[in-house]
Each structure stands twice: as structure tokens, then as C-alpha cells.
Amino acid sequence: MTYDFVIIGAGAAGIAAARTARAYGKTALVLEARQRVGGRAFTDASLGIPYDAGAAYIHFSDRNPWVREARRLGIETRLWRGWTHHEPWSGGAPISPEDRERRMDGYGRFWEHIETLDDDIPDMSLEAAAAGLDPWSRGTVSNFARLGLGEEPSRLSLYDYLGEWDGPDRIVPDGYGTLVAAAAHDLPIQLGATVKRITARGQGFAVETGQGTVQARAVIVTVSIGVLKAGHIAFEPGLPLPILRALDGMAMGALTKVAMAFDGERFGLQPGDDKILLDAPGGSMTFEVWPYDRNIVLAVTGGDAGRALCAQGEQGAIETAATLFSSIVGQDVRRHLVGGRLAGWWTDPYSEGGYAYVTPGASDARAALMETGIEGLYLAGEATAGGRFGACMTVAGASYAGWDAVKRAVAAMR
């Protein structure tokens, strides 16, 4: 059988593409290398307590299609209270109220400064944009870059981030990954199907997997740019030079989570008593304490600190997170630790990193990825969502990109 579409990857982009193809009355097959759907939107329940190992926030929820999808599926969402509720710690103690206020104001001062810049300034990194500001402003930008985008501020394009949509965030008690997986119900998805090669043949494509070869009129590739840059999928003919240049202008961040499950001891902390350790090795680390009143703490870091955590392996990363959490709690928490997991996207061969970010000076890279130059071949995912939508680095952006790729492919078929 020759399908109208073969879709590579069953993350949010692949799911959206498959559902859109069905809406157009087209045949489609989704090939997923993992033994699960959802990609980097994954609710891990292996500790007996569900937590989002990847995406956790429905960003710009006032126009995010996953709010509507959650309502359709009967899955609860809640308005999130924002990034300002973590208690900052440094030097083994909470910072002073005065310093906390300075820190709170620092992020605002950074964006006030950005608004004063000329519209025609050359692209620069977030770090360079904050270079002339006070230490608190520079520090909050660094924390935001590592903990929000998973990368060092010196490597992130200011122009690219300024194109992002803004708006209120929502959270999913059952897990964002649970929501995304529910949306894949009844779709034609083949799990454990690692794609090795995509070959253009006349008016279609041959897609080679470890389970055989399938034929398609069009192919939509939704794997991360980390997977593309690592060369895990071969293309014949090879990807054209503009695509390779665009990939050179992008890279993958390393947002990393460690989940720690406890036996019921809560160390005097209440749900929502979240902490941010400003002087954690290599960069800040946040601790989300008892989310949804569950006996779990989520430690989050990113950038080079996230890479270093992944390099320690799962047991080493859990030990590091527990040690740092103990420095806040004031006692050794390991006596009450009943399990832990490392969500290390940086070392995951099916992801090769967290979000796809743009380096300074390459702010047109996302748009360039949308046009492969090979008829019938489309790249779609959170990496391309900034090319037409201000939604890159989000589940919604990946969904928009999958929908858009099918829409353009159908138009071309006609």
C-alpha cells in the first residue's frame, strides 16, 4: 500500500498531522521509534506518582488548542500561578526580603531595557542584551534562560525569543503528556518503528524502518532537530544546503528534571513551598515541592548544568538532586527517598535535547526549515513553529506545525 502521508514521529506534531490528514480524507501512517506516543510531552508514572518528565505547561492558554482538546477529552486544566512563587536560596539560606524584591524587579528591568532598543539593532544573545544592566537583572535573565529555555543565555537569540507569543499558562493535574497521549487514540501509529532512511522516488517516497519499508506520496518528518543533526535518519537525495544552514543556526537545549518520590515525610514543607537554589553548581536549580499534593519533588535545571546532570547517569543525578534538596531542608532527605527518575532529554537518542533554540544571528532559521526544497517532504515540529507561528519550543507550536505541513501538502497534491 502507498499512503498519502507517512508521518515520522508520534509527538504532538505527528499526532496533529495524522488527525489533520484524517480530516482531509487522506490515508496516513505514523512511524514512532519509541514504544509510546507523545515525544517530549510525557507523563511518567513509573514511580507510582505521575509527573511530567517533559512539557508541563499549556502556554498562552488563551489561544492554545490543547485547552480545547482537554475540554473535549474531559481532562482538567488549571490556571498556573506563574514563575514568581519560588523562594530564592543562596549561601545555605533564603535571600533577604530586600534582595528578593531586587530579584523580582530585575526581570522587569530587563524587558523595559529591551523596549528601549532600536528596532534595527543586529540580533544578539540574551546575555549580550542584558550586559549593561545591574547584577540582579543579569542574574534573572540567566535563570530564566536555563530554567525556562534550557540553555545558557549567551547562546540564545534575542530576536528569536522576542517572536514568542505570550499569555496565561495552564497546568494539567493528570499530566500534559497524558493529555497528548489521549489525543492519539485510534490514530494509525506503528510503535517501535525506527526510521533509517527516506528516499525520494519519482512521485513519492520510500521510508525504510527496522520493520520494513513503506511507500508514501508525501512525508512529514516531526523528529527533533537534534535527531536530524545527529544523522539518525538518512535522506536520499540529501537535505539541500539551505536546510543544512538552518540546522547549523539552531541547537538543542538541555532542560533536565529529576523526580524524587518520598515516603510521606514532608520536612515541614507545604505544597507550593517551592524553592530555587541560586548557587547550585553550574546554574540555578528549582525544586517544585509536592505538586498536586503528591509525595514528589521535581528538581529542574538546564543549560550546561543540565548536561552535567545527565552525564552523571540516573543514580548520580538523583544523588545530586537529593543532596541539594537536603541543603535546603536542613536534614538528609535520602532516608525518606523511595525512588527517583532522571528525565534526561539531552542523552535521549530519540530527542538529543530538549527545546530547539536559535543561536544569535540566525533568527530566520525556523522559517527556512519549513521549505525543504524537496517536493512532498516537510519538516514540522516545535523547531519550525516560529517560522509562521509565535509558538516555537511548545507543544502547541509542534501541533500548529504538524497541522500546517499537512495543509500545505494537501494543497500541493491538488
Residues 206-245 pLDDT 10s: 999 988 999 999 999 999 999 999 999 999 999 999 999 9
Residue 250 bridge partners (DSSP):
358
What are the strands, taking DSSP E only, across 172-238? 189-191, 195-201, 204-209, 212-221, 234-236
Residues lower than pLDDT 70 in the chain: 83-84, 387
Q: pLDDT, tens digit, for every residue of 62-110? A: 999 999 999 999 999 999 987 667 899 999 999 999 999 999 898 889 8
Residues contacting 185, CB < 8 A, separation 6+ = none
Question: Where does residue 303 rank: exposed (0-12), middle (13-18), buried (19+ CB within 10 A)?
Answer: buried
pLDDT score at 1 = 77
- Strands of 15-104, DSSP E: 28-32, 43-44, 51-52, 57-58, 78-79, 87-90, 93-94
pLDDT of residue 389: 74
Q: Which pTM was predicted?
A: 0.95
Nearest CA to 187 out of 301, 306, 21 is that of: 21
Residue-level pLDDT at 93: 96
Give the DSSP letter of residue 187. -
Cα radius of gyration (the chain): 22
Residue 84: the pLDDT is 66
CA distance 119 to 243: 27
In the block, residue with C-alpha cell 530586600? 98
What angle (nearest 5°) sits at the alpha carbon of residue 253, between those of residues 147 and 19? 100
Q: Residue 203: how many CB atoms within 10 A of its CB?
A: 10
